Amino acid sequence: MSQLEFEKPILEMESKIAELRHVSNGSTINIADEIGRMQSKAQKLLQTAYSKLTAAQKVQVARHPERPHFLDYVAGLITDFTPLSGDRNFADDQALIGGIGRFEGRSCVIMGQEKGHDTDSRIHHNFGMARPEGYRKAQRLMAMASQFQMPIITLVDTAGAYPGKGAEERGQSEAIAKSIEKCLRTDVPIITVVIGEGGSGGAIAIAVADRVYMLEHSIYSVISPEGCASILWRDGAFAGEAAEALRLTAQDLHGLNLIDGIIAEPLGGAHRHKEETIRDVGVQIAKALKDLTPWSGQDLIKKRREKFLSYGRAL
Amino acid sequence: MNWLTDFIRPRIRSIVGEQKEMPDNLWQKCPSCDGMLFHRDLEENLNVCYHCNHHLRITVKQRLKIIFDDSEYTRIELPAVAHDPLKFKDRKKYAERLKEAQSKTGLKEAITLALGTIGGQKAVIAAFNFSFMGGSMGAGVGESLIKAAQTAVKEKAALIVIPASGGARMQEGMLSLLQMPRSIIAVEMVKDEHLPYIVLLTDPTTGGVSASFAMVGDVHIAEPGATIGFAGRRVIEETVREILPANFQTAEYLQEHGMVDMVVSRRELAETLGRLLNIFMQALSAAPENDNTQDNAKGGKALTSKKAGKKDVKSSTKVLAKTAISQIKAVQKAAGDFQDAKKKPTAKKAN
């Protein structure tokens, strides 16, 4: 498992426990008591560490490579998932994946950024940084959702839209802008969960939804703390301060009433309990879907607009 | 460095006195061709270099004077918003930066709203002030764009937005990111009423501003040489590790890549805008009365108004043809643009 600095004492404890278990298997000495004591100590360490994560630490957890990613959620929540490729204009973008399938038996469209889980897949998915083709595929899928009156689930996990020459040539700005516009015009329920990193325009392009939730240790921001620090502090080393100032944690944003809710993660974060996390995300999506189902298409559009218009007005 | 510069020159200076710098408000160098520009000539030339045609940045006041008929317009008061809800602080407090920008520019926010006529047609202009915190978009700017759209709807006027902005105002965190969908909602309000929405992309239009309202116009006009793009040039160079073409992310480059309808020099701006608005607005006034409700805008009536609109463009072309041959071509070209742009409501119905 990749290490986070603040998790080191916990990981050390966990490896000691594993070692002891291994020893106890091979011998007759009963050290179950010792293991039990150490486990509860490790649990306490986790509790204290995770009960007061700083913004900078949350950024680390949100980006943890072992966190469940888009395809893990699809595998856990969607049956008959059928990925659909291409924007019908230029190319397919594997950074932003989407398709049709069934969520709890109901036909739906699901899409989101996939970061990949090892070197090969990370390169294949361009580290979850979509190009214009990705956002145009998203628009295409939203149109399809509307055509067949299927709700849309979007899972956000990206450092941001890809900053490349080709991406600029093919209109990254226009692709993102049109994707936002498409979200606003779509007459089926849209539910968004930020599962890891919500990075700026590349994230909000598919997150203009009727319900926007964030996992407990996910982040959502207009700019990365590193980028913000290098611009405003003129030194990337101030990323910690920037993370704090940007108010990018799920708790901050919920406090500002800019998201609809937080999905709690099991103790120690999603990277320790993938299945449980995925299940809980599913429960929240099901709840939201139930709330939104009675609304007509025109009502959805109207209320979505009103909701986004209201942001910031009460602050 | 040698004794000449180190020793002799200071001695001479001390005798003759410090050489007087030319007051920078009288002469300035063109950033493109290094030609010297006299302030009065430059102003007369609409802040366009008279040696090389480079378009220098222009104040919003000058811009509005150039565009509106007879340089006359009414300022629309900016809506009030909560400033600094995050209590953001970097090396300096955001609240202080905001105050500094306000006292430096004498403006309340990075945007100015005005109502007037262009080519005889009513129009609301929302123009960004780049000198106000880089024209960055926060809640104040977003809310102003919404007010501009609402005013356009109320006045049955066109909406023209003129971005000059580095992007989102990061001191407002998530709230600034949310101005991207909010600004697009503003545009939707105008489009629902079938009123024209024109974007004039000026130097620079980048980041969250380019990736929102600036790229969903019925017509995209850009000023020559303006930098327009999503990611910053340096970020891209660092990511792709290759040298980018010199004209990368310029107005001309964007037109070449299909993102901008036309690159229009400042001298022809008012005429172009006037012509476009006249074509659009005449089409609308020729359309059978429709009661402008949201639901109706998507229904059959919109379709008939579209057909009627096309007819009207043709007849208006004929009228103008009498006046000047050169104008025929321009109008026909614009009429083509118009028909392209008008396809959008059809696409909307497919939703």
- Find the CB nearest B178 among A187, A248, A258: A258
Q: How confident is the model at residue A26 (pLDDT cuts 50, 70, 90)?
A: low
Residues of B (238-257) whose Cβ lies below 8 Å from A: 239-240, 242, 244, 248-249, 257
Nearest residue to B67 (alpha-carbon basis) of B143, B161, B136, B132: B161
Q: What is the mean pLDDT of chain A?
A: 94
The DSSP bridge pattern shows strands B73-76 and B111-118 to be: antiparallel
**Residue B172 sits at the chain A interface (C-beta within 8 Å):** yes
Check A186 against B351: CB less than 8 A apart: yes
Q: What is the pLDDT of residue A32?
A: 79
SS3 for B312? helix
Nearest residue to B171 (alpha-carbon basis) of B256, B260, B110, B245: B110
- Find the CB nearest A222 among B170, B212, B231: B170
Class of domain B60-274: alpha beta
Check B258 against A178: CB less than 8 A apart: no
- Find the CB nearest B178 among A176, A177, A312: A312
CB contact at 8 A, B181 and A207: no
Tell me the DSSP string of B64-88: HHHHSGGG-EEEEPPPP----TT--
Burial class (CB in 10 A: 0-12, 13-18, 19+), A181: buried
CB contact at 8 A, A284 and A193: yes
ipTM of the complex: 0.94
Burial code of B248-267, b = ≥16 C-beta within 10 A, e = fewer?
A: bbbbebbbeeebbbbbbebe
Q: What is the pLDDT of residue A36?
A: 85
CB contact at 8 A, A173 and A180: no
Q: What is the pLDDT of residue B287?
A: 77
Check B85 against A256: CB less than 8 A apart: yes
Point out the least confidently predicted range of A2-11, A50-59, A297-306: A2-11
Q: How close, in Å, is residue B146 to chain A by CA atoms?
A: 9
Residues in chain B closer than 8 A to A180 (CB atoms): 180-181, 184, 212
Give the CA distances from residue A81 to residues A86, A92, A110, B110, in Å, rounded to whole numbers and listed in that order: 16, 18, 9, 47
C-alpha span between B247 and B240 (Å, rounded):
17
The DSSP bridge pattern shows strands A219-221 and A190-199 to be: parallel
Q: How close, in Å, is residue A4 to chain B by CA atoms?
A: 25
**Residue B229 sits at the chain A interface (C-beta within 8 Å):** yes
Domain borders along chain B are 3-44, 60-274, 279-350
Of all residues in chain A, the percent with pLDDT exceeding 90 is 82
- Find the CB nearest A177 among B90, B216, B242: B216
For A154-196, the pLDDT digits (tens) are: 999 999 999 999 999 999 999 999 999 999 999 999 999 999 9
Which residue is closest to A241 within chain B, CA to CA? B90
Q: What is the pLDDT of residue A34?
A: 82
For A190-204, the pLDDT digits (tens) are: 999 999 999 999 999
Structure tokens belonging to residue A267: 């103790």
Cα angle B283-B260-A113, degrees, rounded to a multiple of 5: 115
**Residue B227 sits at the chain A interface (C-beta within 8 Å):** no
Domain borders along chain A are 5-52, 59-309
CB contact at 8 A, B52 and B30: yes
Out of 3.30.70.360, 3.40.50.150, 3.90.226.10, 3.40.50.300, which CATH number does the structure's domain A59-309 have? Answer: 3.90.226.10
Burial code of A303-315, b = ≥16 C-beta within 10 A, e = fewer?
A: ebbebbbebbeee
Check B351 against A247: CB less than 8 A apart: no
Q: How close, in Å, is residue A129 to chain B by CA atoms?
A: 12
Structure tokens belonging to residue A261: 């809710």
Q: What is the pLDDT of residue B324?
A: 47
For A217-253, the pLDDT digits (tens) are: 999 999 999 999 999 999 989 999 999 999 999 999 9
Check A308 against B178: CB less than 8 A apart: yes
Q: How confident is the model at residue A313 (pLDDT cuts 50, 70, 90)?
A: confident
Nearest residue to B177 (alpha-carbon basis) of A27, A96, A209, A202: A202
C-alpha span between A211 and A261 (Å, rounded):
8
For A265-296, the pLDDT digits (tens) are: 999 999 999 999 999 999 999 999 999 999 99
Residues in chain A closer than 8 A to B81 (CB atoms): 312-313
0.80 cut: is pTM over it? yes
Check A305 against B184: CB less than 8 A apart: no
Check B239 against A163: CB less than 8 A apart: yes
Residues in chain B closer than 8 A to A315 (CB atoms): 82, 85, 139, 175
Residues in chain A closer than 8 A to B175 (CB atoms): 256, 258, 311-312, 315
Which residue is closest to B79 within chain A, CA to CA? A313
Check A177 against B215: CB less than 8 A apart: yes
Give the CA distances from residue A265 to residues A34, A201, A275, A278, in Å, rounded to whole numbers and listed in that order: 28, 25, 11, 9
Of all residues in chain A, the percent with pLDDT exceeding 70 is 98
Q: How confident is the model at residue A312 (pLDDT cuts 50, 70, 90)?
A: confident
Phi, psi for residue B201 in degrees, rounded to 5 = -80, 120
- Find the CB nearest B181 among A180, A232, A253: A180
- Find the CB nearest B177 among A222, A241, A309: A222
Q: What is the pLDDT of residue A30?
A: 72
Please give chain B's pLDDT, 351 residues, in tens.
Answer: 566 667 776 676 666 665 555 555 789 999 999 999 998 999 899 999 999 999 999 999 999 999 999 999 999 999 999 888 899 999 999 999 999 999 999 999 999 999 999 999 999 999 999 999 999 999 999 999 999 999 999 999 999 999 999 999 999 999 999 999 999 999 999 999 999 999 999 999 999 999 999 999 999 999 999 999 999 888 898 888 878 999 999 999 999 999 999 999 999 999 999 999 999 999 888 877 655 444 444 444 444 444 444 444 444 444 444 444 454 455 455 555 544 444 444 444 443
Q: What is the pLDDT of residue B239?
A: 81
Q: How close, in Å, is residue B199 to chain A by CA atoms?
A: 13
